[in-house]
Amino acid sequence: MNDHDLRFAKRLVLLNSAVPAVVLGWDAWHHQLGANPVNFAILTTGMLALVFLLLTLLVTPLRVLSGWNWIIFSRRTLGLYAFFYAALHFLIFFSLDRGFSVASTVSEMVQRKYLLVGITGLLVMVPLAVTSTNAMIKRLGGKRWRALHRLAYVAAVAGVIHYYMQVKKDVRQPLAFAAVLAILLGYRWWATLRRPVPAGAGKAGGGL
Amino acid sequence: MQEPDKISQREITDPAVYFNRRQFLQTGILAASAVATGVVYHELNHPAAGVTKTVPLAGLTTTPTNADNGFHAAEPATSFQDITHYNNFYEFSTDKEGVAAAAAGFNTRGWQVSVEGLVRHPRVFSLAELLSLSPPEERIYRMRCVETWSMVIPWAGYSLSKLLDVVEPLEGARYVAFESLLDPQRMPGQRADVLNWPYVEGLRLDEAMHPLTLLASGIYGQALPPQDGAPLRLVVPWKYGFKGIKSIVKIKLVAEQPRTTWSEAGPNEYGFYANVNPHVDHPRWSQATEQRIGQSGRRPTLMFNGYEAQVGHLYAGLDLRANF
Ligand code: HEM
């Protein structure tokens, strides 16, 4: 894969990941979000945040198993989109559902335990987003950066638990997400068992 | 030094043209992929679409409006489209926006309702017989879902007490038990064990006899569409929506408090009474406010869904926190 193709692939990921947000905005503008538009937007962005978290965690196993080393380029973009959709998810809840009331948002969080789990997921993504630049990777050093970015696992686990807890009764879908996450995390566990990585080895991009 | 190959020299495309073409192609691929992603996204995630066919109800009458009986909420009614495309009916789908499509074409021909148990005149009614007991009246009720959204719905039907008067409850009857159709063929949601099928519900006899308690056969002057509980359902406007059992096939007068589907599914989350109460929260969320469908912002939830004047006396002395 040459530089040109890589840049093109980057654009492809960057653009397509934004499509759901654009369609959601377009539909909202045209009153096409159904009977309960605010809830629809909350559920949609929550689902997208979770899907992008899982896609982010899929990159490394896919890369190792397929040998397509170049796909690592997409991990940062996918991760940032996961953060973007989770932040949007929270902001829609805070603004349109809670009417910008901090008091109501906080009291609702205390009331609904699954919101505390959700905010944990969102908060651990903040340092990941902040340290996602090349300069930050250099500043932290690959080892520390990789250790920090294991928080992505925490975010994904929190996301799945949050999803499971808020479902009224039909838990089939959250369990399916939990199963996918278990496979993605299980792969990493299995990989470390098989081939312990010597301390300090590998570039920043290699670990996760 | 060898002479450069003249032919190949001529065939090399001018870099400017080459990159232009390449850029053009890439832009095309980008645009096409975005459209494809948009289509797939929309296919996987869209609100309910489609229009429900309606059949007018014959002989609709308007009940005398009287400010005190609660029969006509003085609030703008939710649109027919929203009422019929956003609701819970797990027998068809656990997706509120997927019920209408999943229920379309539900066949209610030959429908019968057995009214039995502790009554003087147990009897199996055909739907036509049941509907002919009393003309359908328009009742505009607030509907508050336990999930904190609400609507204002112009139902058509008559007070359940009219049916109970016909069959005459016996001395020992203290509760009314209701049962929905069990037929996984016609109700695909029943093929999964999300709830313990068939759906069952219950009321205390005095609740069932209250004039607000409605045996509904229509919405907006039209026969109940499949997704809203065709052909016959219960509406208890001061209770959370799940008490309003749909597609009823059995009504039984009993002595003991009957089991109810949701209170079995989540005993600490859903009670037998399920009266709308902003002061008693669901263990996982607050019940203090609600989202009125079709309006923006949340509004405070009213005690007994705003029917306290009509039904408050039924619960005098009852601990509403313990009996949620
Ligand atoms: C890692 C971060 C998060 C992820 C991955 C996430 C994901 C999800 C998912 C998948 C759903 C269910 C969507 C569906 O049923 O289709 C959901 C629902 C929801 N989330 Fe989050 N969420 C996150 C953080 C938050 C935060 C910080 C809040 C607000 C404090 C929040 C509030 C909600 C609410 C209110 C619902 C909808 C509940 C309902 O109305 O049924 N989430 N979220």
| Ligand 1 proximity of A49 Cβ (cutoff 6 Å) | yes
Task: Flag whether pLDDT at A207 surpasses 70.
Answer: no
What pTM, to 2 d.p., does this model score? 0.88
Domain B50-141+156-260 has what CATH class?
Answer: alpha beta
Interface check for B196 against chain A (CB to CB < 8 A): the answer is no
Q: Give the pLDDT confidence score for residue B18 in this predicted structure.
A: 72
Interface check for B109 against chain A (CB to CB < 8 A): the answer is no
- Whether A44 maps to a domain, the answer reads yes
pLDDT tens track of chain B, all 324 residues?
455 555 566 667 777 777 788 888 999 999 999 999 999 999 999 888 888 888 888 878 876 667 689 999 999 999 999 999 999 999 999 999 999 999 999 999 999 999 999 999 999 999 999 999 999 999 999 999 999 999 999 999 999 999 999 999 999 999 999 999 999 999 999 999 999 999 999 999 999 999 999 999 999 999 999 999 999 999 999 999 999 999 999 999 999 999 999 999 999 999 999 999 999 999 888 899 999 999 988 999 999 999 999 999 999 999 999 999
Q: Could you report the per-residue pLDDT of B258-315, keeping only the tens digit for each?
A: 999 999 999 999 999 999 999 999 988 889 999 999 998 899 999 999 999 999 999 9
**Residue of B17 and A73 predicted with greater confidence:** A73
Nearest-angstrom CA–CA distance, A145 and A205: 9
Nearest-angstrom CA–CA distance, A141 and B175: 71
- As a whole number of angstroms, the longest Cα–Cα distance in chain A is 55
Give A126→chain B minimum CA distance, Å: 26
Q: Do B284 and A166 touch (CB under 8 A)?
A: yes
- Whether A208 maps to a domain, the answer reads no
User: Of ligand 1's atoms, which has the minimum distance to the CA of residue A159?
Assistant: 5
Task: Flag whether pLDDT at A27 surpasses 60.
Answer: yes
User: Of ligand 1's atoms, which has the minimum distance to the CA of residue A124?
Assistant: 1
Q: Do B30 and A99 touch (CB under 8 A)?
A: no
Nearest-angstrom CA–CA distance, B81 and B23: 46
Q: Do B42 and A23 touch (CB under 8 A)?
A: yes
State the best of A30, A44, A169, A175 to mutate against chain B, taking most chain B CBs within 10 Å: A169
Q: Give the pLDDT confidence score for residue A202 in this predicted structure.
A: 45
Give the residue, by CA position, lying nearest to ligand 1 atom 34.
Answer: A42
- Whether A150 maps to a domain, the answer reads yes
Q: Give the pLDDT confidence score for residue A200 in this predicted structure.
A: 47
Q: Do B30 and A111 touch (CB under 8 A)?
A: no
Nearest-angstrom CA–CA distance, A128 and A142: 14
Nearest Cα residue to B298 out of A86, A105, A47, A30: A105
Angle CA B313–B314–B315, to nearest 5: 90
Q: Identify the domain containing residue A46 by its residue range.
A: 3-203
For the stretch B260-264, contacts whose Cβ atoms lie closer than 8 Å and that sit 24 or more positions apart, written own/partner, are: B260/B200, B260/B201, B260/B202, B261/B195, B261/B196, B261/B199, B261/B200, B261/B201, B262/B195, B264/B196
Burial (0-12, 13-18, 19+ Cβ within 10 Å), A62: middle
Give the residue, by CA position, lying nearest to ligand 1 atom 1.
Answer: A121
Nearest Cα residue to B156 out of B233, B75, B262, B269: B233
Distance of CA B135 to the CA centre of its chain: 24
Nearest-angstrom CA–CA distance, B22 and B69: 74
Task: Flag whether pLDDT at A136 surpasses 60.
Answer: yes
Interface predicted TM-score (ipTM): 0.87
Chain A residues with beta carbon closer than 8 angstroms to that of B26: 8, 11
Nearest-angstrom CA–CA distance, B248 and B234: 8
Q: Do B97 and A34 touch (CB under 8 A)?
A: yes
Q: Closest residue of A to B148, CA-based?
A: A39
Interval between CA B303 and ligand 1 midpoint (Å): 28
Interval between CA A163 and ligand 1 midpoint (Å): 6
Interval between CA B143 and ligand 1 midpoint (Å): 25
Nearest-angstrom CA–CA distance, A122 and A105: 15
Q: How many domains, in total, are found in chain A?
A: 1
Give B28→chain A minimum CA distance, Å: 11
Chain B residues with beta carbon closer than 8 angstroms to that of A16: 33-34, 37
Q: Do A35 and B294 touch (CB under 8 A)?
A: yes
Cα dihedral across residues A40, B89, B221, B212: positive or negative: negative
Nearest-angstrom CA–CA distance, B227 and B89: 7
Chain A residues with beta carbon closer than 8 angstroms to that of B240: none
Q: Give the pLDDT confidence score for residue A206 in this predicted structure.
A: 43
Q: Do B30 and A15 touch (CB under 8 A)?
A: yes
- Region A104-112: what's the mean pLDDT? 90
Interface check for B320 against chain A (CB to CB < 8 A): the answer is no
Tokens standing for residue B319: 């601990």
Phi, psi angles (nearest 5°) of residue B303: -60, 135
Residues near B172 by Cβ (< 8 Å), separated by ≥ 6?
A: B118, B255
Nearest-angstrom CA–CA distance, A116 and A121: 9
Q: Closest residue of B to A96, CA-based?
A: B297
C-alpha distance across the termini of chain A, in Å: 22
Q: Give the pLDDT confidence score for residue B60 in this predicted structure.
A: 82
Interface check for A150 against chain B (CB to CB < 8 A): the answer is no
Q: Do B94 and A170 touch (CB under 8 A)?
A: yes
C-alpha distance across the termini of chain B, in Å: 97
| Ligand 1 proximity of A51 Cβ (cutoff 6 Å) | no
Q: Could you report the per-residue pLDDT of A147-202, keeping only the tens digit for each?
A: 999 999 999 999 999 999 988 888 999 999 999 999 999 999 999 888 765 554 44
Give A63→chain B minimum CA distance, Å: 22
Average predicted confidence (pLDDT) for chain A: 92
Nearest-angstrom CA–CA distance, B216 and B140: 12
Task: Flag whether pLDDT at A89 surpasses 80.
Answer: yes
